[in-house]
Amino acid sequence: QQPVQSPQAVILREGEDAVINCSSSKALYSVHWYRQKHGEAPVFLMILLKGGEQKGHEKISASFNEKKQQSSLYLTASQLSYSGTYFCGTELGIQGAQKLVFGQGTRLTINP
Amino acid sequence: DTGVSQDPRHKITKRGQNVTFRCDPISEHNRLYWYRQTLGQGPEFLTYFQNEAQLEKSRLLSDRFSAERPKGSFSTLEIQRTEQGDSAMYLCASSWAGGYTFGSGTRLTVV
């Protein structure tokens, strides 16, 4: 039931792009993306509802492929502040389960 | 709006003792969630409330864990007869049918 994130870790230089994937074996109602810095709480980035929409937040955007039950998070021209662990949280079911099941996380390190 | 507050930030307890954590959500949020997170893992669902009603509790949660949300405001999570495996960060989050706002968490260490 837990979604699978890939890759588990990625190291980039400032200005490079990254893609983080989240896959589920169950039908998804929505996908959330969060970023957590070391020792801090997860911070909400965006939510995508079923319908295949793509949303954006500054240089961070995401897509949701309902048929494949996958979501991808795109970070373009990465900045040092993007470092942290990214989690996808999936809401299962046709009408939504009202709770999130989180993936195991993808650790992103941005070097100068 | 002061965000989601959790108290205490840290708790060290001896095995077998009971502990209670408190969460104060954002006042306009009707949903409140408890998650547990261990090092290197994503948050694991424990339970959630809509207003004062506890709508779901994880099947992974033993009977030693109980949560309340009287009057649909703050919530408490109690762990009875703590075990070393209970050591983790306990996160509270609230929402209004959208993204979650997490608190800073309570780090529990059972010795």
Residue B100 and residue A44: Cβ atoms within 8 Å?
Answer: yes
Tell which residue, B88, A1, B26, has the closest CA to residue B77: B88
Shortest distance, CA A17 to any CA of chain B (angstroms): 23
Q: Per-residue confidence at A95, pLDDT binned at 50, 70, 90?
A: low
According to the model, what pLDDT value does residue A82 have? 95
SS3 B52: coil
According to the model, what pLDDT value does residue A92 have? 84
DSSP state of B17: -
- β partners of residue A43: A35
Tell which residue, B61, B103, B49, has the closest CA to residue B86: B61
Tell which residue, B88, B77, B107, B74, has the closest CA to residue B5: B74
Residue A42 and residue B43: Cβ atoms within 8 Å?
Answer: yes
Task: State the CB neighbour count (10 A cutoff) for residue A67.
Answer: 7
SS3 A15: coil
Q: Per-residue confidence at B1, pLDDT binned at 50, 70, 90?
A: low
Burial of B61 (0-12, 13-18, 19+ CB in 10 A): middle
Best probe of the A interface among B102, B106, B107, by most A CBs < 10 A, is B102
Residue A102 and residue B43: Cβ atoms within 8 Å?
Answer: yes
According to the model, what pLDDT value does residue B48 have? 94
Structure tokens at A102: 């989180």
Cα distance between residue B16 and residue B55, in whole Å: 28
Task: State the CB neighbour count (10 A cutoff) for residue A37.
Answer: 12
- B106 touches B11 (CB < 8 A): yes
Residue B60 reports pLDDT greater than 90 = no
State the average pLDDT over residues A22-50.
Answer: 92
According to the model, what pLDDT value does residue B100 have? 94
